[in-house]
Structure 1
Amino acid sequence: MPKIEVTKDIALEESELEFSFLRASGPGGQNVNKVESAVQLRFDIANSPSLGEAVKRRLERLSGQRCTREGVLVIFAQTHRSQDLNKKTALARLIGLIAEAAEKPKPRIKTRPSLSARKRRVDKKVQRGETKKLRNSPTE
């Protein structure tokens, strides 16, 4: 069975992808009324054997509203007048999302401000307070 390479570690089976074709909206003359050029790509993230658990979680988070409650990612493409180009566009978007999800996030390293930086901050606050004090009317 043909595989679609996403990254050097991840390759999807074509059987994991489900394409359906719909009539596109927008310009296109009579062509838009009779040809089903829009593509809806469905990819079941939750049951995909090609992805690891961490990648699945990141992909669900990245896909946002395009992901159903059941964990199915739905990508809709209708930019081109050609069904084949829309299919390629939808597939490219899916590959881009999976590639982005495959990158491990860099762990945050906790840092603390240096002593001199804390001193500068306090000095600036004191200076600002002095400036504001000068704006008050004299009390005498």
Structure 2
Amino acid sequence: MFPPRYSNPDYWKESGIIQEARFQTSLSGGKGGQNVNKVSTKVEIYWSPSTSAVLSEDARARVLEKISSKIDNDGEIRVTCDTSRSQLQNKKTAIDKLSILLAFCFKENKPRKASKPTHASVKKRLESKKIQKDIKANRRKGNYE
């Protein structure tokens, strides 16, 4: 249905999604000493799949269906990163997160192959049933023989 390249995060980095995204920086908490108080290292990416020119109608529907829980009231996906002390590194990490999220939408799950339970698991299940049967049989009234 969709080309296999859609499930590759590198494809989404080069597809033009980043040009449609809106970047916002802010002060980040955590490690960094005085750097935390002075430099805006936290990076947030806002991207709206419903208005994207890069996505086809089918791809847009797939993205909206798969990651509907990550879309806010404005119809945007928000990805944040504040792990590094560098704004540039956080920006790269946030772009990676967004591209992995989009690639996840197009990943095809392998069909599950039905398998039989192992001999040991069947034996263990039957043994536990026998123990439970004996416990309940000992509780019965009139079993004084």
TM-score (normalised: structure 1): 0.68
* Aligned length in residues: 126
Change in Cα spacing, 1:26 to 1:127, as seen in structure 2 (3 Å) is: closer
Higher relative contact order (CA 8 A, sep 6+): 2
Tell me which of 7, 15, 25 is aligned to 1:11. Answer: 15
**Contact residue 9 and residue 96 of structure 2 kept, 8 A:** no
**Alignment match, 1:48:** 52
Distance 1:135 1:28 in 2: 68
Q: Percent identity?
A: 26
**Contact residue 25 and residue 43 of structure 2 kept, 8 A:** yes
**Contact residue 40 and residue 76 of structure 1 kept, 8 A:** yes
More strand by share: 1
**Alignment match, 1:69:** 73
In structure 2, the gaps of 5 or more residues are 1-7, 117-121
**Alignment match, 1:135:** 138
The within-5 A match list for 1:116-131 is: 124=126, 127=130, 130-131=133-134
**Alignment match, 2:37:** 33
More helix by share: 2
For the aligned residue pairs, the C-alpha RMSD in angstroms reads 3.4
1:88 aligns with 2:96: no
